[in-house]
Amino acid sequence: MSQSPSWSEYSARRIAEAGLRRSIPRRRVIDLLAERDCAVTALEIDAELDGVGRATVYRAIEQLEDLGLVRKVDLGASAHGYEKVEPSGHHHHHIVCDDCGKVEPFEDEALEEAIHHIRRKGFSLESHEVTLHGHCAECR
């Protein structure tokens, strides 16, 4: 059985294939996202990567998003974050508290099956995003 590559390895390969030059700031953004299991905002990434510079951080995120390595996640209250896109397709969705902004990731097999059974108007499904909005236990 061949082990599937880690997201970092996969990203490095995709970046090389896209003909982009190696960049240390981009590498640092990748390393940070690789460690996180859920969405991080661009501001958080910028704050953690001291000395990189906001414009460079944002540019790196944009490149990773363009390559399909990172996805934008709706975090409610017009905020959004970014998280890695696993090459295996394994992923989760989010429940957002619209009062305090707390984000809980969740996985639901029945939901995935229902989504994949939807075939309408001749569309093939490429991707999907599900964000549930509500109020967390503390805010309720």
Nearer to Zn ion, 47 or 111 (CB): 111
Number of neighbouring beta carbons within 10 Å of residue 61: 20
Nearer to Zn ion, 16 or 35 (CB): 35
User: Which of 134, 132, 51, 42 lies closest to 83, judged by CA?
Assistant: 42
103-106 and 80-84 strand pairing: unpaired
Does position 39 interact with Zn ion (CB under 5 A)? The reply is yes
Smallest distance from Zn ion to CB 17, Å:
26
Name the closest residue to Zn ion (Cβ). 38
* Stretch touching Zn ion by CB under 5 A, among 11-19, 22-30, 34-42, 49-57: 34-42
* Stretch touching Zn ion by CB under 5 A, among 17-25, 31-39, 54-62, 63-71: 31-39
The binding track of 75-114 with respect to Zn ion, each residue x by CB under 5 A or -, is: --------x---------------------x------x--
Positions in the binding site for Zn ion (CB under 5 A):
38-39, 83, 105, 112
